[in-house]
Structure 1
């Protein structure tokens, strides 16, 4: 019911997750990232405990492979789960349980991993990885590359049925996500494009919001009535 990617920007060290599904509010249950540590997508009959578990393991300096091994060891009903992880060095690892739904598969690339279940075809994750890698030359920002990758997955067929929710989370060098954009449900239209539009609006203001948190005296105008 889901396709996603986890990724790292080798130049900035930022991590991101992008995900879409026919289920509601997929990003609220499946997307996890921690600054300086890595990113995780935990999907397919979701267990929301697995994302923080994998991040905690990587936060102790262990690799994505070791984090997924711990997920496999201590996760319950692991045969139903699909979990993607990327660590601080850009290494990736994926667990896809044999009871993943429908057509399910996975793909890995440089600083990126993708997986999906109930897919239209088994080429979708590879298309997502290729879309992320191809965007590097002309789309430098991690958020732009995540959107390009998700669009590539849609163009390759996406999920077997219509998708209704999507999200994108990005972390940088502060302990909260610098972007956490979601479309929790849409009846008509494309949730990936709804998130893409939200990113288009949010991207120019991203650094301003970080500065407002760190030092309001240095922040730009808020652009509201009464603000000078």
Structure 2
């Protein structure tokens, strides 16, 4: 009896040693994420949240005209780069995923999702991913999670994706993360989040091929902060569009865009300032002065900036008007 017990104990110790030796040494990123494609625009995205620092630097990978990858649990970062390379070479997501996992001794600990420009997906949740773990996918999306508080997270993510088809891709992705968190999310809590969106086609200017790349590396409520950043992004889209209208001398259209931005973030001095400068350049000095005085009261450095603009052609007014603008 004693001998049998010793044999069983040795077997258990050997099993545990085997498990430890075969467990990957890659960094942990136990998390929930979504890879998805907007069927109308063709844009592809990855969104993720985890109780782990700077999760976006490990989980999210994407390339315009190719696809996106989420690699998590025991994260193998090479899966991102290699997976995209395989898609670019013509492999399907499933073929790419099979190739990545084929010689991976840690595949039981991996969770990976791959999506291509056609909206095809392939997902793997290893048998040793920590519960609650699982995934759900379909045309143009895959949601996956591990180490969740409960098993309702993945179904909630899938439902949120399907129920919010009327939203733009960025906002839709955030809704999915919010749905996961509402179900308890990561059993350890919250720390970081990220959202990456790439264009459906690659251009000759790869530096412009990322539509959006937002990261919340360390925050008490990362999904909420990510949502705020998406709104800031939308506001600056209005500002950029306003600048384009200014270049075309379409001043009323420019002011409409600037006003839309300021309505979204009324306390943002940057938006207020350039709106005032546009008014000044359009000859509406009185309105510009009124706005600038309020801005200077908040931060006098903006007054100094105004003095420097004429030299570089960003403020084209007379000396008399410039004095009014900088008083």
Shorter-chain TM-score bucket reads 0.7 to 0.9
Shift of 1:209: 7.1
| 1:11 counterpart residue number | 40
| 2:4 counterpart residue number | none
Alignment of 1:180 with 2:209, yes or no, is no
Q: What 5-or-longer segments of structure 1 have no aligned partner?
A: none
User: Deviation string for 1:89-133 (max 9, x for gaps)?
Assistant: 111111111221231111113311011110011221221121011
In 2, Cα distance between equivalents of 1:15 and 1:206: 19
Alignment of 1:192 with 2:223, yes or no, is yes
Does 120-129 or 8-17 show the bigger shift?
120-129
Which structure has more helix as a fraction of its residues?
Answer: 2
Alignment of 1:148 with 2:178, yes or no, is no
Among 120, 124, 129, the alignment partner of 1:100 is 129
| 1:48 counterpart residue number | 77
| 1:201 counterpart residue number | 232
Shift of 1:207: 8.7
Query: Partner of 1:178: helix, strand, or coil?
Result: strand
| 1:160 counterpart residue number | 187
In 2, Cα distance between equivalents of 1:207 and 1:17: 24
- Whether the 8 Å contact between 1:105 and 1:125 is mirrored in structure 2 is yes
In 2, Cα distance between equivalents of 1:3 and 1:145: 15
In 2, Cα distance between equivalents of 1:29 and 1:46: 7
- Whether the 8 Å contact between 1:13 and 1:36 is mirrored in structure 2 is no
Q: What 5-or-longer segments of structure 2 have no aligned partner?
A: 1-29, 249-253, 259-269, 275-301, 316-327
Alignment of 1:28 with 2:28, yes or no, is no
Structure possessing the higher radius of gyration over alpha carbons: 2
In 2, Cα distance between equivalents of 1:191 and 1:72: 31
Alignment of 1:135 with 2:164, yes or no, is yes
In 2, Cα distance between equivalents of 1:132 and 1:93: 17
| Change in CA separation of 1:53 and 1:208 when aligned onto 2, cut-off 3 Å | farther
Aligned length: 218
| Change in CA separation of 1:207 and 1:62 when aligned onto 2, cut-off 3 Å | farther
Query: Partner of 2:68: helix, strand, or coil?
Result: strand
| 2:113 counterpart residue number | 84
